[in-house]
Amino acid sequence: MIAKTFETKESSLHYLISSGYKEETLLFLHAEFTDSSIFISQFEAFADDYRIVAVDMPGHGKSHVKHNDIGLADYPNQLIRLLESEGIRRVHLIGVSLGAIMAQSLAQRYPKYIDSLTCIGTYSIHHGYPGDARLWRLDAFRGWTLLFDFARFRERISDEAAISPLGRKVFKEGTKSFKRSTFSWMQDLRPLFNGQKKISRLPLLILCGEEDFPAIRESSMRLCDISDRSTYGDIPQAGHVANLDQPKIFNRMLRKFLDDFHR
């Protein structure tokens, strides 16, 4: 994988891209608070057959936010510009948690770029803004980190993200570059939840860990409504970031979905 940086007026986006030409591209969008390293098992499983692109969200990993008045709603446009800079015209989108919300928004705004969409452990942006107390916990986490040190913060969110020791370790390692200032960039999710346009013919795979939060599992199931070509699956013995807890099962399910895309 080759590490690159894409500069915009809004942010400096760090991303990984595989070398060599492949006809199709997988674009990976990671969960909040961590970075693209959560997809290392997917890089290894799919790099022989697909071009891989994995982007660190602004304020995560090695990506930086340049202006605090720029927020989450601007990120999909930045991703499109990054893809265009690489000459990539279409992608299979794979997003986890907040990355899956971004993937949904990207697919809704720029459908001509999207071959398929895979969402893991997410809320549907097509059914209105969720009212459950857990939604991204940003206000609670912001206050919590002001009272306690970031080491305890990383421990807590890693315990929520995964249930396996290795999954928690990988997630926690990815949190080391997350900064308090990033909360300002993440604070307003509502513009993404418009509850409007459906994507009736987009191949859609929705996956949830069986141990994920009940509200997320319920919302993920509702996401099936947006496409006539949707598939839902549970991943056993897995938490919120299910690809970390059960990478082999996840990779097998994603592989089957991508293979079916060509039939």
What domains lie within the chain, and their CATH numbers?
2-261 (3.40.50.1820)
Q: Do the beta carbons of residue 81 and residue 14 sit within 8 Å?
A: no
Tell me: the pLDDT tens digits for 82-103?
Answer: 999 999 999 999 999 999 999 9
Beta strand residue intervals within 49-187, DSSP E = 51-55, 64-65, 91-96, 114-120
Whole-model pTM?
0.92
When pLDDT is averaged across residues 134-158 and rounded to a whole number, the result is: 64
- Provide φ and ψ at 156, rounded to 5°: -65, -50
Q: How far apart are CA 65 and CA 83, in angstroms?
A: 19
What local confidence, expressed as pLDDT, does residue 194 receive?
72
Tell me: the pLDDT tens digits for 154-209?
Answer: 888 899 999 999 999 999 999 999 887 887 777 777 777 776 666 668 899 999 99
